[in-house]
Structure 1
Amino acid sequence: MNVTIYHNPECGTSRNTLALIRNTGVEPEVIEYLKQPPSLETLVKLIADSGLTVREAIRQKGTPYVELGLDAANLTDTQLLDAMLAHPILINRPFVVTPDGTRLCRPSELVLDILSLPQKSAFSKEDGEVVINAEGRRVR
């Protein structure tokens, strides 16, 4: 199974999502999008395939969102996308692409909706929250 994750190793949600993917036995293509930002075409496709609006794909917390004036309601998608490309930290994460779909995996367990492979073992997030129990079943 081909899986790609647009990953930020400093983000706990992104780390948990990557660990859930690896818990299926798959080693995904990991794109550290802060070092290798997606092209405009790729970013637009990720957002559209996830069923999100451009504004829904912008990360506000811990970013220059307000300082850049991106909270203004009258900005166009083009202006928002330009800001995301100029400041990749504004791209919400992690986006995951599999043959079963594309998702912004917040919370991290949303990745399970697009992974057709079973989890190989129990899994808990970094904070201790159990996601996959000892029987290999999703807790929520």
Structure 2
Amino acid sequence: MSATIYHNPKCGTSRNVLAMLRAAGEEPVVVEYLKTPPSREKLVSLIAAMGITPRDLLRQKGTPHDELGLGDAKWSDDQLIDFMIEHPILINRPVVETSLGTKLCRPSETVLEILPEGAVKSFTKEDGEVVK
């Protein structure tokens, strides 16, 4: 199985998901999306694969979300995607693609839904919480 993670190394959840992928025996393609943002087409494809709306993928904390007025319902999906392309920090993370699906992995154990059953026997997060 192959996996790709849209990763922010400064994010604990993202680091935990990357570690879980590796614990499952995967060496995923790691896309540091703040350095190498996805194209518009790729972002649209990821959103569709996750079955969510662009608004569901918007990150508020630590972003220009409020300054840009993105909480306002006036913005279309296309406009929200444009904002995420212009300001990749607005893309919530981590997003993981595997052959079993694509997910926004918050909380980090959500990644288990798109890994083969039993791929991760047990995992301890950075904060000491045990998963599985």
Structure 1 and Structure 2 fold alike (TM over 0.5): yes
Identity, in percent, stands at 62
Cα distance, 1:117 vs structure 2: 5.7
RMSD across aligned C-alpha pairs, in angstroms?
1.1
The equivalent of 1:123 in structure 2 is 123
Distance in 2 (alpha carbons) for counterparts of 1:117 and 1:37:
31
The equivalent of 1:20 in structure 2 is 20
In the TM superposition, structure 1's runs of 4+ consecutive aligned residues that sit over 4 Å from their partners are none
Deviations 1:66-120 (A, max 9, x none): 1011111111011111100000000000000000000000000000000016345
Q: Give 1 or 2: higher helix fraction.
A: 2
Distance in 2 (alpha carbons) for counterparts of 1:86 and 1:12:
24
Is residue 10 of structure 1 aligned with residue 10 of structure 2?
yes
Higher mean Cα deviation, 28-37 or 44-53? 44-53
Q: Which has the larger radius of gyration?
A: 1
Cα distance, 1:122 vs structure 2: 2.9
Asked whether the equivalents of residues 21 and 28 of structure 1 are also in contact (C-alpha less than 8 Å), the reply is yes
Q: How many residues align?
A: 132
The equivalent of 2:35 in structure 1 is 35
TM-score normalised over the length of structure 2: 0.96
**What pairs with 1:24-103 in structure 2 (closer than 5 Å)?**
24-103=24-103
Asked whether the equivalents of residues 20 and 120 of structure 2 are also in contact (C-alpha less than 8 Å), the reply is no
Asked whether the equivalents of residues 24 and 117 of structure 1 are also in contact (C-alpha less than 8 Å), the reply is no
Task: Show structure 1 runs of 5+ residues with no match.
Answer: 132-137
Distance in 1 (alpha carbons) for counterparts of 2:89 and 2:64:
8
